[in-house]
Amino acid sequence: MPTYIILGQFTQKGIEEIKGNKERLESSANLAKSLGGEMTAFYYTIGRYDYVAFVEGVDLDSALKGLLMTGMGGYVRTETLVAFPAEKGNEIIKGIPG
């Protein structure tokens, strides 16, 4: 299953209600579980993004559903990367003709 690297930014609403973020984070981890995955790591960050989360084991359809459900709350905006282990990437590269 894919690994998703989720880069997040708090919205104005998210900043105004930041004290409730611990509960929202727990809710997001539970959402990932309900969709068949697991949030394996979460870090608050300084810079362009306010946090980065790693979620594993969710198919693409479930990932989209989870991201949309999270966005509906209005607390965050996300940018998501689908990550491949180096071994899998090397397998794909080997299959390139030429």
Reported as type and span, the H/E element at residue 83 is strand 76-83
d(CA 93, CA 54): 24
Q: From first to last of its 98 residues, what are the pLDDT tens digits of the chain? A: 789 999 999 999 999 999 999 999 999 999 999 999 999 999 999 999 999 999 998 899 999 999 999 999 999 999 999 999 999 999 999 999 98
d(CA 77, CA 50): 10
pTM of the model: 0.90
What are the CA-CA distances from residue 27 to residues 15, 24, 61, 69, 85 (Å)? Answer: 17, 5, 19, 11, 27
